[in-house]
Structure formats: structure tokens, C-alpha cells
Amino acid sequence: MVSRISTIETCSASRHRIVNTLLDFGNRVRNSEDAPTAPLRPVSSTPRVDGMIDEKRRSIIGIASGLVVGALVVLAGSAGSRTVGPVAVFAICGFIAYGINWAAFVPANRAQTEHYFDLTGSATYLTVTAVALALSGDLDARAIIVGLMVGIWAARLGSFLFRRVRRDGRDGRFDRIKTDPLQFFMTWTLQGLWVLLTLAAALAIITGTERQAIGWVAIVGIAVWVAGFAVESMADRQKSAFKKNPANQGQFITSGLWAWSRHPNYFGEIVLWTGIAIMAVPVLSGWRWTALISPVFVVLLLTRVSGIPMLEARAEKRWGGDPQYEDYVRRTPVLIPRVPRA
């Protein structure tokens, strides 16, 4: 079968893919108009002015929401966390997740560039995890293994993004956002929230006062993470190889893992964070059960908000009616891999 590869730009790196869906979803929200209230606007207002006010209001709401959600996660995760003086290590990690992105926003906003947005995200994962390991002390095997898992995943991500930035030079998602300081700041704030939410289970393990020997639950979690990481890495590598082949330009991929699932990279991403969450279960108690929001957030974002729905809509718009594409959709599950149908 001749494989066909999509030109839809979904980043091979997991965190980049998910932030992409956040940005696209945010753009759709900001560009929407509340039709029922439109007639109530003052006669003197103009669409341009009203649009600017709406965008600023939505950006402010987005920033505030990101901070409130982050604060609640930090509050819950700090219960039972090791401390440095009076401050919980979990809370310190939360502050760092936001702080790194806010610090990076300053020069990025001044230069109106997005070149290091994704690299900053990867660096945030590595820094937060390293700080958690350094400040927690009395680390057991579970904490060390989880730290290594996050480090390996983030290192792969960072190396990919470095090559991508050098190759592409720009990211079209930011063409309009980076010219509006408030929207741009909201984007960096959401990245800090994203890091905190996805790392919640890992941070609960590393910073927690509860230590337990590796048991069968942890072994299952490790196996699940390895499987998810392998699927994600393989799917990324297969798609990258196809995209480098000029003969496949403008086509969609139907071979390898992409013959088993239309979004195997998303499946791998969900599975690997689920693995870390499973490892956290034996050491969670009280409010720290909130850390299980990590895989739940990933699932909801990718399957219900704008990940898979957005990409499926784009694909249908471009290839809908194409017999080969329709056959591919009929034979291939949208997310959970399955042996290809004949």
C-alpha cells in the first residue's frame, strides 16, 4: 500500500502538540462573537474596538483561570509534601513552573518572537523535576525512577524542538498572538499551568513524605510508561521519516502505527502519563489524590477539547470524499490502536 502523509502540522513532540491544541482552542474562543448580546452594544462602539475589548477580557480571564487552577493544584499537592523551611517543595515547584515562563516572556515579548517558547517548556519540565529531586531528600527508588522518566521524556522533546526551531525559523500559531502582549502573556502562563498539571503525579511521588518500596503497582506503572513512551516515540519517528520524503508531500500516512490508529502519538502520550499516575497511587492520600488530574487532563484535552476533534475536522475538510481517505477512516480507529481491518 502506498502510504500517504498529512501536511497538517502536529508537532511530533507531545507537549508541543498539546500546547498547540490549547492555542488553537484559545484562538477559536477569542475569535468567537456572542450573537445574542451584539444588539445591546452602544451605538457609538465599533466592531474593531469591541473586538479588542473582548480579546483583552478573554485574555485576562484566561490568565486568572490559569492562576486559580494552578493555585488549587499547588494547595492540594502541598498537603503531605516535604518542606524547605515553612514552604512545601510541591509549592516551590509550582512557583518555578510559572516563574520560568514569565521570565522567558519578558525578552520574547520585547522581541515579539516565539522561537524559544517550546524550548522553554521543555526546560521547565527538566528544571522543576530537578528542583523537586534536589529539595525532597531521602529519595527512594520510586522517586528516582519517576525523575528519570520525566527527564528522558523531556530530553527527547527538547532535542526535537531544537532541531525544529532551527529548521522552521518561525511558528505560524503565534503570528497574531505575539503582537498582543496580554494574549502573549496568557500563552506563557498556560504553558506554566500545563507543566504543573502534567507533572502533578510525578511531583506527588518525588516530594511526598510517604515512601514505599517498589511493589507490583509500581511495576505495572513502569511497564505502562515504557509502552506509552515507545508508542509515542515510534509514531513520531515514523511520521518524521515520511515527511522528509518529498514523494509523500501533501499526503496522509497510513502505514506503521498509523495503520493501527489515526492518532497513535496522542495514544502514547496518554498512556505514558497514566503510567506515572499508576506509580503514584500507593503513596497518595488525602488531598494529594488530586495529583491524578495529570492523565485526566491530558485525556480530556486531546479527546474532547481540540486535539483529536480539531485534527479530524481539518482532515475531513481536506480529504473528505477521497475514497482512499474514507477507506482509511473506516478501517482505522481514531485513538486506541487495533489490528487494521481488511
What would the pLDDT profile of 299-331 be if each residue is shown by its tens digit?
987 888 667 887 888 888 888 888 888 888 889
User: Would you say residue 338 lies in a domain?
Assistant: no
The per-residue pLDDT for 245 is 84
User: Would you say residue 26 lies in a domain?
Assistant: no
Cell 514505599 -> residue:
212
Closest CA to 94 of 64, 122, 119, 124: 124
User: Would you say residue 195 lies in a domain?
Assistant: yes
Taking all residues of the chain, what is their mean pLDDT, rounded to a whole number? 82
The per-residue pLDDT for 45 is 46
Q: Is the pLDDT of residue 192 over 50?
A: yes
User: Would you say residue 47 lies in a domain?
Assistant: no
- Helices 141-168 and 14-31: crossing angle in degrees, nearest 10, is 60
Give the pLDDT confidence of 244-292 residue by residue, as tens digits.
888 888 788 889 999 999 999 999 999 999 999 999 999 999 999 999 9
User: Would you say residue 4 lies in a domain?
Assistant: no
User: Would you say residue 339 lies in a domain?
Assistant: no
Over pLDDT 70: what percentage of the chain? Answer: 80
Domains: count for the chain: 1
> What's the per-residue H, E or C state across the chain?
CCCCCCCCCCCCCHHHHHHHHHHHHHHHHHHCCCHHHHHHCCCCCCHHHHHHHHHHHHHHHHHHHHHHHHHHHHHHHHCCECEECCEEHHHHHHHHHHHHHHHHHHHHHHHCCCCCHHHHHHHHHHHHHHHHHHHHCCCCHHHHHHHHHHHHHHHHHHHHHHHHHHHHCCCHHHCCHHHCHHHHHHHHHHHHHHHHHHHHHHHHHHHECCCCCCCHHHHHHHHHHHHHHHHHHHHHHHHHHHHHCHHHCCCCCCCHHHHCCCCHHHHHHHHHHHHHHHHHHHHCCHHHHHHHHHHHHHHHHHHHHCCHHHHHHHHHHHHCCCHHHHHHHHHCCCCCCCCCCC
User: Would you say residue 88 lies in a domain?
Assistant: yes
Over pLDDT 90: what percentage of the chain? Answer: 49
The per-residue pLDDT for 42 is 37
* Domain that residue 91 falls in: 14-21+53-331
Q: Is the pLDDT of residue 63 over 80?
A: yes
User: Would you say residue 1 lies in a domain?
Assistant: no
Q: Mean pLDDT across the stretch 44-63?
A: 72
- Least confident among 37-51, 105-119, 255-269: 37-51
